Structure 1
Amino acid sequence: MSMVVCRAPFRVSFFGGGSDYPEWYRDEPGAVLSTTIDKYIYITCRYLPPFLGTKHRVVWRYVEQVDSIGEILHPAVREGLRYLNFDDSLGIELHYQGDLPSRVGMGSSSTFVVALLKALTGLRGLKADQQKIAEMAIELEQVRMKETVGSQDQVAAAFGGLNVINFHQNGRFDVNPLGLSAERERELSSNLMLFFPGRSRFSSDQALSVTQNLPNRVAEIRRMVAMVREGEAILRHGDLMDFGRMLHETWQLKRCLSDRVSSPEIDNLYDRARRAGAVGGKLLGAGGTGFVLLYVPRECQAAVIDALTPQCVNVPFALEREGVRTVHQSNNVILPNDG
């Protein structure tokens, strides 16, 4: 296989965030309720022909043309290539594309790593199922790159769908799909709205603040974990308005985890949305800024859009079930030994 194109979906986390950090689940079980959506990161990679004047080419926010893997600036690409034992004997070309901005609370860094590992294992001709890709992504970020990140984003992007993900003290996880009907999923997604206020941040900065404060917020995290089961029960056979109210409760709890979780701008935005008819919502990701998820009855959605415009952009979305996948592969790329 000489060229691979892979995609992995962004995720929306509802309940249990914070309990997916190893700093928590090494001591107490963690759980999250999340879904992936129809917005994706795409990674295209191939072996770079040897006569193009550079050994490796990586295209993201920058265009990197370097002579060794060690010179690659993008940390996930550099360490991902090392992790899978690529070397400089064959050149690599890799392109990144995304449907949403990076560093906005949608799990983009881990989604990138999941798509990257799927593409690189495919390029090497290695077999790696969703479980393996998720495990590799967690190891790459937390161990090899030493990033302060949780474990839910890698699992969500790898498996896809609306799931309860449990994290165990031995470091393992299991994924339990809710298996809702398509009609029930549409009912849920039709009352959810995403808004982007147009700023980004490095999530590891906020995550470090949260993880350092976890020993002081045990009661809050335990409540957030309990809400995973309550939220699952509502999605299966309850009133979805109660799901919206729980989102409001979990946001109040999440704001207690660190003074860096929210900001005056986000608090003002959220208050305006609530006055316009939003039942509840939360800032996605580690905090600071990023996408805001709101539960809004359909009859109130136009008013909420008016209340948040022009400060925010509304991003329509639907739920997705596939997770990471290869969308294209070909064998027609010239390699050094093609003569």
Structure 2
Amino acid sequence: MSVIYSRAPLRISLGGGGTDLPSYYSEHGGYLISGSIDKYVYMLTHTVFQKRYRLKYNQMEEVDAPGDVVHPIFREALSRHWEGSPLEIAVIADVPAGTGMGSSGAFTVCLLKSLYLARRRSITPGALAERACEIEIDVLKEPVGKQDQYVSAHGGICAYEFGTDGSVTVDPLEIDDRTMRQLRNNMLLFYTGEARSASKVLSHQVKQSAANDQVMLENLHRTKEMGHLSRELLEAGDLEAYAELMHEHWENKRKRSPGMTDERIDTLYTLARRSGCIGGKLVGAGGGGFLLVYARHPDDTRQAMAAAGAAELPFDFEFRGAIGNEAI
């Protein structure tokens, strides 16, 4: 039992995204709908015969102690949640970082899951998510929200309510089989060809929320309302109305911060709408990554987006959340 396998899913936000940042929910409470998908961050952790820490991601580090690690999440997770001998950890993911599907949160959740398994300790999804949030938000001071960590830890399609005291309530949606089949068939993801730093995009929102900027707060209040309405429509199976709400959600979101969109993204979204998409939006903070659309005629949309050079990422929803194996 010397090799630990762990994986944590990425996610697509389905309504209310942006209200999970402490700068907003600590005063007003937040609410969003999000679903984990079958695209993952994977890790292999080797626990024996290691003289130094060897970390393999898009770079490679070899150091004597956790405090010497350059990668901030690796450094803080190992410093706080590992007391054993040196480890070798290799990371790979289904999609590039900076593409709007919560890869940083999934990375942190996946790493902590592997460390707890290596210590032969169990941890609940809620505790796993909170420890990941602590590292990213409290320790590293990243201007990010709690959505990514919670969705990755829990899996499924859930409503997440963020209390002013920092508490998080997780409530799985009750979506019938017919509606799930329609979502799988008509909801499509396309890569815009741009990666971006979520922290840079979100820093403006954090600053304006903290300054009690009324335009920003009204935007986020409406976003939270759309989170509640998204749940109602998804559970009712009214997907065309939900898709129309996606369009409103995107129009509202693009007003929130500079850098939320660009000419390439606007062109792709216009092409998608002309091909029969009712609505859509960028997943994640904005500024690049993946465009999520709800298409009346999926094949027509695929053809239009392929002609524009936007590759599709086929996906399904997943319902397991972060998992691991004690031995391979």
Whether contact under 8 Å (2:8, 2:110) holds in the other structure is yes
Matching residue of 2:197 = 202
Whether contact under 8 Å (1:5, 1:45) holds in the other structure is yes
The alpha-carbon distance between structure 1 residues 294 and 315, as it changes in their structure 2 partners (threshold 3 A), is: same
Counterpart code for 1:91: P
Aligned: 1:62 with 2:59: yes
Counterpart code for 1:56: Y
Matching residue of 2:311 = 313
Matching residue of 2:153 = 158
Q: Structure 1: state its 5+ residue gaps.
A: 332-339
**Counterparts of 2:183 and 2:301 in 1: how far apart (Å)?**
17
Aligned: 1:304 with 2:301: yes
In the TM superposition, 1:1-339 aligns within 5 A as 2-50=2-50, 54-86=51-83, 90-214=85-209, 215-216=212-213, 217-297=216-296, 300-309=297-306, 310-326=308-324, 328-330=325-327
Partner-residue secondary structure (3-state), 1:279? strand
Q: How much does 1:138 deviate? A: 0.7
Q: How much does 1:238 deviate? A: 4.0
Q: How much does 1:247 deviate? A: 0.4
Q: How much does 1:3 deviate? A: 2.4
Partner-residue secondary structure (3-state), 2:299? helix
Q: How much does 1:85 deviate? A: 4.2
Whether contact under 8 Å (1:161, 1:322) holds in the other structure is yes
Q: How much does 1:48 deviate? A: 4.2
Q: String of CA shifts for 1:40-67, please: whole Å, max 9, x gaps.
A: 11111122414xxx50110110122222
**Counterparts of 2:57 and 2:48 in 1: how far apart (Å)?**
16
Matching residue of 1:335 = none
Q: How much does 1:208 deviate? A: 0.6
Counterpart code for 1:147: E
**Counterparts of 2:48 and 2:267 in 1: how far apart (Å)?**
49
**Counterparts of 1:32 and 1:47 in 2: how far apart (Å)?**
38
**Counterparts of 1:179 and 1:122 in 2: how far apart (Å)?**
31
Q: How much does 1:184 deviate? A: 2.3
**Counterparts of 1:200 and 1:2 in 2: how far apart (Å)?**
35
Counterpart code for 2:159: V
Counterpart code for 2:12: V
Matching residue of 1:334 = none
Q: How much does 1:233 deviate? A: 1.3
> Which structure has the bigger radius of gyration?
1
**Counterparts of 2:230 and 2:17 in 1: how far apart (Å)?**
13
Q: How much does 1:134 deviate? A: 0.6
**Counterparts of 1:29 and 1:286 in 2: how far apart (Å)?**
19
Q: String of CA shifts for 1:220-245, please: whole Å, max 9, x gaps.
A: 11111111221111111242111110
Identical-pair percentage: 34
**Counterparts of 1:184 and 1:264 in 2: how far apart (Å)?**
33
**Counterparts of 2:221 and 2:67 in 1: how far apart (Å)?**
42
**Counterparts of 1:286 and 1:149 in 2: how far apart (Å)?**
9
Partner-residue secondary structure (3-state), 1:6? strand
Deviates more, 1:190-199 or 1:166-175: 190-199
Deviates more, 1:178-187 or 1:238-247: 178-187
Deviates more, 1:138-147 or 1:206-215: 206-215
**Counterparts of 1:155 and 1:286 in 2: how far apart (Å)?**
16
The count of corresponding residues between Structure 1 and Structure 2 is 323
**Counterparts of 1:181 and 1:277 in 2: how far apart (Å)?**
25
Q: How much does 1:72 deviate? A: 1.8
Q: How much does 1:113 deviate? A: 0.4
RMSD of aligned C-alpha atoms?
A: 1.5
Whether contact under 8 Å (1:36, 1:161) holds in the other structure is yes
Q: String of CA shifts for 1:14-33, please: whole Å, max 9, x gaps.
A: 11111100000110010011
Q: How much does 1:282 deviate? A: 0.4
Whether contact under 8 Å (1:276, 1:304) holds in the other structure is yes
Q: Normalised by the size of structure 2, how large is the TM-score?
A: 0.95
